[in-house]
Structure 1
């Protein structure tokens, strides 16, 4: 129910029915139709299963909390490489998402039914950005983990920063930058030969 327009911002919320109190859900929408989270999601953690360069079969986990008072469901997340010597390539068809958090080792403690259905997962090579779409969108009050599979870890050691941005549902939605996943990759000295 749309109740007020103030300075081009529209607020919507649910009301109590029959004396029952329902939680307030607010959607912030500008006059031009841009939708914002009322309370933005939070990047809880970003981990990788392997920290050595050139390792195959690794997974990068990004855990995001969508608070109950977010006001909108989570439609998509972009993960953009901002720093790092080498462009990371991904096996997009292996991308997964789950309700729950990853553990200290990057694994997930969850049941099979906690897996989320994804829409298209795309890679924009020019901007080094992967877009993960949720279908259906993630409702507020959940913590989700995206599991992104690189073809392999980078060949060069160093710090790689992956910026995470969340978008609410809407044809014209404003992305909220959540922060960086910081991955440090190391040269695997066990493969080196020393005279």
Structure 2
């Protein structure tokens, strides 16, 4: 009896493995691609953190680990906190391997799109960012907010594929000083 139960369990486990295993470790049965090891948002910073400063650059440093299984195709950055709408120089978006302090090879950007309704940028790479790469994305607002305060930017990354499953990496936080918040006028 014990052997029969054991055989049934082993048979069911084998059947479930065959039925539930996708054709690739990075695809669901619905052909949705995803990262098997998640990328990480390492740092978010600005070249100037004073209110009203024109032409700053906001840097987002992301690590795509070697075990991620898929290359990164595009990123969505959405303002989630802060009182003002920011306007960007979309054609001045940059990306490079490494960090702002240790820049490497440039990464080509295919497009940078702005969605005014959701206050989000979608940056698509011309060449995919391969696993094992740490890179930095630089976006250029026309100016910092008029008034000081904390601004939060949600960062979501998407793997290559026709049906990618986005992975939310968390919020990047920038603190601007000066203006109507009463500090450093």
- The TM-score, its normalising length taken from structure 2, stands at 0.85
Partner of 1:43: 41
Q: Does 1:162 align with 2:153?
A: yes
Partner of 2:56: 58
Partner of 1:187: 178
Partner of 1:174: 165
| 2:27 partner SS | strand
C-alpha distance 6-118 of structure 1, shift in aligned 2 (>3 A): farther
> Structure 2 regions of 5+ residues with no counterpart?
1-16
- Picking from 130, 138, 146, the partner of 1:139 is 130
Distance in structure 1 (CA, Å) of the matches to 2:23 and 2:79: 34
- Picking from 48, 69, 72, the partner of 1:71 is 69
> Structure 1 regions of 5+ residues with no counterpart?
13-26, 104-108
Superposed, 1:96-135 pairs within 5 Å as 96-103=94-101, 109-111=102-104, 114-135=105-126
| More helix, by proportion | 2
Deviations 1:153-189 (A, max 9, x none): 0112111000100000011101000111100111168
Q: CA offset at residue 110 of structure 1?
A: 2.4
Distance in structure 2 (CA, Å) of the matches to 1:119 and 1:137: 10
- CA RMSD of superposed structures (Å): 1.8
Partner of 1:88: 86
Distance in structure 1 (CA, Å) of the matches to 2:93 and 2:18: 40
Report if the CA contact (8 A) 2:177-2:184 is conserved: no
- The TM-score, its normalising length taken from structure 1, stands at 0.81
Deviations 1:65-114 (A, max 9, x none): 000000000000110000000011110100000000123xxxxx225xx0
Deviations 1:132-159 (A, max 9, x none): 1011111100001000000100112111
